[in-house]
Amino acid sequence: MIDVMLASGDLIKLNQETHPGCYLHRSDPDDVARVEHVTFICTTERDDAGPNNNWMAPDEAKSRMHELYEGCMKGRTLYVIPYCMGPIDSPLSRCGVEITDSPYVVANMRMMTRMGSAALARIERDGGFVRGLHSVGELDPKRRFIMHFPADRLIQSFGSGYGGNALLGKKCHALRIASTQARSEGWLAEHMLIVGIENPQGEIHYIAAAFPSACGKTNLAMLIPPSEYEGWKIWTVGDDICWMQPGDDGRLWAINPEAGFFGVAPGTGESTNPNALAMLNQDAIFTNVAVTADNQPWWEGKDEEVPVTDWRGNSYTSGAGSAAHPNSRFTVPIRQCPSYSEQAEAPRGVPISAIVFGGRRERLVPLVMESKSWQHGVLLGASMASETTAAATGQVGVVRRDPMAMKPFCGYNFADYWSHWLSFADRVSNLPPIFHVNWFRKDRAGNFIWPGFGDNMRVLEWMINRCSGQVQARETAIGSVPHISDININGLDAGISELEALLEVDTAAWSEEIEQIREYLQQYGDRLPERLLQELNKVTAQLARVA
Ligand code: GTP
Ligand code: SPV
Ligand code: MN
């Protein structure tokens, strides 16, 4: 496939001395991110898709797609990709087949999924699979649709060759279709990383964390702890998607359905994410990054070297905007990550000690808080909001509601999804605590207050100490926050006063926020679970009491 693409110009060889087996793909300049406005959930009843999704009637969607697909493979090679999401022998895994006319999709799916004969054999055992039909068409943004038919376990995608629009195993299957399957079968398909944190005693706690696109999942999944954390180790199980199921022991067990990373390049540097840099020195595909004079891949935040060619292939002079596209990405097998965990292949998955939600919020939202119960944790997830990023087309930096980081990915009505989440409290005996984090608070000058990246370890440690009951917390109306003395600040490049600011809960501002959350939730009308409203009312009452 690489040879096919080198011959067609779809791939360009990068410097094979510094980066053996690495290639660059330049996408069409109008095809650089997910396209949420033309992504649809096609259910017979509009309400089953919910206010969180674009909806189209299945018959109408199929006839539109049929028209677009007409003759699209003429003169092209049609590839059939049998793939398995999750370890081949895991009962939690699910299979699919993608048909595509894009060699780039084939090469990426090979790294992102378990594809090929093992997957085909499993499909024969399972007797069923998710069907995905994809064509790049003419890459015309006006003739582009990503359609999902949950009842048929069918995906139809046309007009884009990019990431989540085209690698159908990823967001289309493993989140949108899988979330509907998970609901009916009693499990969860989530936009979460999975990371193991090993303490000096050799105990490993696995944490699953949901942050919206380009809000830090890949980075947290492979962080390197500060030097003060001698004897601690980080194990990467997954960086984007997590499927979780209750085990016999009443805990939640999780697998990463993917086999590779399709990660954000900008911001990946020696000081921020050295593990990612180390895995990108060989056998990786780069999409829409810039190039140096000696043909090495480059992006903003990669400390060394200077770019001479931008992501479009034009010559670049410094100061002329970004050289790499803000949503430029790398594709690489997960096994190349220095912190790769063999547990990523464990058929039963890993037991989850804590669930974390988080968003990108300049103001208001504290560095970390803990929910008071599962029910309150579900409210924390449902109340999430985050500044938009370049991972999807549209305006960047505007705060939008993004419950559980699933706004673009939940294949059904959010009200029913929250009911599903709440139902776990009725039938799972040993649920993990739920936390909420925000690495992205800014000061008046517009700088991040919290150093983030490796230093996020300090927050993870507090969570683990909470899980094992080793530290107390300060109760506030919106959740429990750490006592400053319980956060390890040895060697931290921020002081007590910064930490106080990061953990402050502004009652007046939160009262306003809660009203906005209430307004948002009210859109879901009668379908909104009563228990979520009760929880919201509790928070409102507590805020009024302390005001
Ligand atoms: P998707 O692949 O789109 O789902 O994104 P993701 O959630 O995996 O985000 P990723 O880890 O790739 O980070 C996105 C951007 O946020 C990168 O530019 C990172 O450098 C930056 N980032 C990640 N973690 C932190 C952090 O702790 N603090 C700050 N300030 N930036 C961060
Ligand atoms: C995201 O946007 O959340 C991604 C990249 O992880 S994509 O594969 O395009 O969905
Ligand atoms: Mn993602």
31 lines ligand 2 (CB under 6 A): no
Q: Tokens 């700088």 appear where?
A: 447
Confidence of residue 22 (pLDDT cuts 50, 70, 90): very high
Pocket test for ligand 1, best of 171, 211, 258, 264 (most atoms within 8 A of CB): 264
pLDDT, residue 282, reads 98
What DSSP line would sit under 71-82, residue for residue? TTTTTS--EEEE
Q: Which is it for the CA torsion 385, 388, 391, 392, positive or negative?
A: positive
196 lines ligand 2 (CB under 6 A): no
Per the prediction, the chain carries an average pLDDT of 97
CB distance 114 to 84 below 8 Å: yes
pLDDT, residue 319, reads 83
Ligand nearest to the CA of 359: 1
Q: Which tokens go with 546?
A: 């302390």
- In this predicted model, what pLDDT tens digit does every residue of 304-360 receive, in sequence order? 789 999 999 999 998 889 999 999 999 999 999 999 999 999 999 999 999 999 999
pLDDT, residue 394, reads 95
Q: Please give the average per-residue pLDDT across 46-54, as a whole number.
A: 98
pLDDT, residue 494, reads 87
Domain boundaries, the chain: 31-186, 190-260+351-546
Pairing of strands 130-135, 94-100: parallel
pLDDT, residue 72, reads 97
Atom 24, ligand 1: which residue's CA is nearest?
216
CB distance 131 to 97 below 8 Å: yes
Atom 7, ligand 2: which residue's CA is nearest?
164
Cα 212 to middle of ligand 3, angstroms: 7
Atom 10, ligand 2: which residue's CA is nearest?
164
Which superfamily, per CATH, for 31-186? Phosphoenolpyruvate Carboxykinase, domain 1 (3.40.449.10)
Atom 5, ligand 1: which residue's CA is nearest?
214
Cα 492 to middle of ligand 1, angstroms: 20
170 lines ligand 2 (CB under 6 A): yes
Cα 217 to middle of ligand 2, angstroms: 11
pLDDT, residue 305, reads 87
Ligand 3 (ion): residues with CB under 5 Å are 213, 240
Of 252, 467, 484, give the one whose Cα is nearest residue 371.
Answer: 467
What DSSP line would sit under 233-295, residue for residue? EEEEEESS-EEEEE-TTSSEEEE---SEEEEE-TT--TTT-HHHHHHTSSS-EEES-EEETTS
Q: Which atom of ligand 2 is nearest to the CA of 165?
A: 9
Cα 262 to middle of ligand 2, angstroms: 7
Active site residues: 215
- In this predicted model, what pLDDT tens digit does every residue of 490-534 receive, in sequence order? 999 888 999 999 999 999 999 999 999 999 999 999 999 999 999
- In this predicted model, what pLDDT tens digit does every residue of 201-238 receive, in sequence order? 999 999 999 999 999 999 999 999 999 999 999 999 99
- In this predicted model, what pLDDT tens digit does every residue of 51-81 receive, in sequence order? 999 999 999 999 999 999 999 999 999 999 9
pLDDT, residue 254, reads 98
**Which CATH architecture best describes the domain 190-260+351-546?**
Alpha-Beta Complex (3.90)
pLDDT, residue 371, reads 98
Question: Residue 382 pLDDT more than 80?
Answer: yes
Q: Please give the average per-residue pLDDT across 379-396, as a whole number.
A: 97
Of 337, 224, 342, 333, give the one whose Cα is nearest residue 276.
Answer: 337
36 lines ligand 2 (CB under 6 A): no
- In this predicted model, what pLDDT tens digit does every residue of 440-492 receive, in sequence order? 999 999 999 999 999 999 999 999 999 999 999 999 999 999 999 999 999 99
pLDDT, residue 318, reads 84
211 lines ligand 2 (CB under 6 A): no
pLDDT, residue 63, reads 98
Ranges of H-type helices in 323-450: 374-382, 414-427
Cα 191 to middle of ligand 3, angstroms: 6
pLDDT, residue 46, reads 98
Atom 8, ligand 2: which residue's CA is nearest?
164
Q: Please give the average per-residue pLDDT across 87-112, as a whole number.
A: 98
Q: Where does 296-395 show beta strands of DSSP type E?
A: 297-298, 307-309, 329-333, 350-358, 368-370, 385-387
Cα 2 to middle of ligand 1, angstroms: 29
217 lines ligand 2 (CB under 6 A): no
- The angle at the Cα of 411, spanning 407 to 417, to the nearest 5 degrees, equals 75
Atom 29, ligand 1: which residue's CA is nearest?
452
